[in-house]
Amino acid sequence: MGVGSVGPLDKAAALLASRIAAVGAEKASRVANASYVPRQAAWKVNGRVIPRKVTVNREEVEAAIARLPPEFKRTKLPSGKWLRAKWSKLKISRLRRKFERLGKEWPWHVPKKIVHYNVPLKGTIQERTREARLKLIEENMRKMPQWIAEYRAERAALPKKWKEGTPALAIRLRGGTLVEIDDAEKRKIKEQAAMLRTFVQSMREKETTASAPDSKSPKETESAPDKTAAH
């Protein structure tokens, strides 16, 4: 193979390079002709560029970071590689607690960033639908008297429930309909119930006396002979 001849590896490399260039061109054209607008880091208002987020205390934070000792910060090599700090965050926090125990102020305090986002907020759903909810409440309050009257009419049409304290036998089924019992019949029912209770109680007392083994009548005790006297 001569010096100017092209080998199979060179052909494969050239083919791969052409395919990569074609894919890159297609992607660039697709992004350029996209229907959406990519999110930008800043937006314009009246021709003035306003960043989406602004750090209010940016200068103060940068000055505090610059005051930190080199042991607290990472170092960057000429090759672009970052090295970790000599002091770990745990060691720094322990040192800060020692300062606090001694009542001294920590000299390397870095304030937190105060970030404001210049993006118009859409608000919560309660805030967005407040007017619609108030309008619906007003309409319902105008219809409320009519609804109350309809509800009371429906409740009046329902059969009345028993009042508290009335016995369960205060209503009987006569001829397929519920009929309320008068006061005289109520008294009669109460008397019958009282008689039934006394009868049941007397029967229970008889059963208890009959089942007792040591219970003897006085006649049996008198007629029993005295065995000690016979001897």
How would you write 71-138 as a 3-class SS string?
A: HHCCEECCCCCEECCCCCHHHHHHHHHHHHHCCCCCCCCCCCCCEEECCCCCCCHHHHCHHHHHHHHH
Q: Average pLDDT, whole number, for the chain?
A: 76
Amino acid 169: pLDDT: 47
What's the pLDDT at 150? Answer: 94
Query: How many domains does one find in the chain?
Result: 3
Please give the backbone phi and psi of residue 99, each rounded to the nearest 5 degrees, phi first.
Answer: -60, -40
Q: Which of 43-47, 130-134, 203-207 has the lowest mean pLDDT?
A: 43-47
Q: Which domain holds residue 132?
A: 121-159
> In which band, very low, low, confident or very high, does the pLDDT at 4 lie, cut at 50, 70 and 90?
low
Cα distance between residue 68 and residue 47, in whole Å: 40
Where residue 32 falls among pLDDT bands split at 50, 70, 90? low
Q: Is the domain of 52 the same as that of 90?
A: yes
In a domain, 67, yes or no: yes
Residues 6+ apart with CB under 8 A from 130: none
Tell me which of 87, 117, 147 is where a domain ends: 117
152 pLDDT exceeds 60?
yes
Write the single-letter amino acid at 122.
Answer: K
The verdict on residue 99 lying in a domain is yes
224 in a structural domain: no
Same domain, 134 and 107: no
Residue 169 has phi, psi (to 5 degrees) of -90, 10
Q: Say whether both 154 and 176 belong to one domain.
A: no
Are 139 and 198 in the same domain?
Answer: no
Which DSSP state fits 49? E
- Judged against a pLDDT cut of 60, whether residue 100 lies above it is answered with yes
Q: Let me know if residue 19 belongs to a domain.
A: no
> Looking at the domain assignment, is residue 3 inside a domain?
no
Claim to verify: residue 113 and residue 141 sit in the same structural domain: no
Q: Is residue 199 assigned to a domain?
A: yes
User: Residue 21 and residue 28: Cα distance in Å, rounded?
Assistant: 11
Kindly state the DSSP code that residue 68 receives in the 8-state scheme: S
- Residue 11 scores a pLDDT above 50: yes
Question: Has residue 17 been placed in a domain?
Answer: no
Quick one: pLDDT at residue 47? 62
